[in-house]
Amino acid sequence: MGRMRKKSDLPSKTCATCGLPFTWRKKWARDWEQVKYCSERCRRNARDLASDQDRLPTGRSA
């Protein structure tokens, strides 16, 4: 069996949506470099915010 690590020893990142810190999880081991969001909810919210910004008008109408 491998050596146990303390949670404080694990790498951490800041969520791109909510701004809260989150730590490495075993399920992210293969693609930790690509992980941007702390949860599925934040990932969905980021996608929804991006699509909302696409629908906003960019210029002012006079």
Better pLDDT: 57 or 28: 28
Sequence ranges of the domains in the chain: 10-50
Local structure of 12: helix, strand or coil: strand
Taking only the tens place, the pLDDT of each residue in 25-36 is 999 999 999 999
Q: What is the pTM of this model?
A: 0.68
d(Cα 7, Cα 13) in Å, to the nearest integer? 13
Taking only the tens place, the pLDDT of each residue in 3-28 is 777 878 899 999 999 999 999 999 99
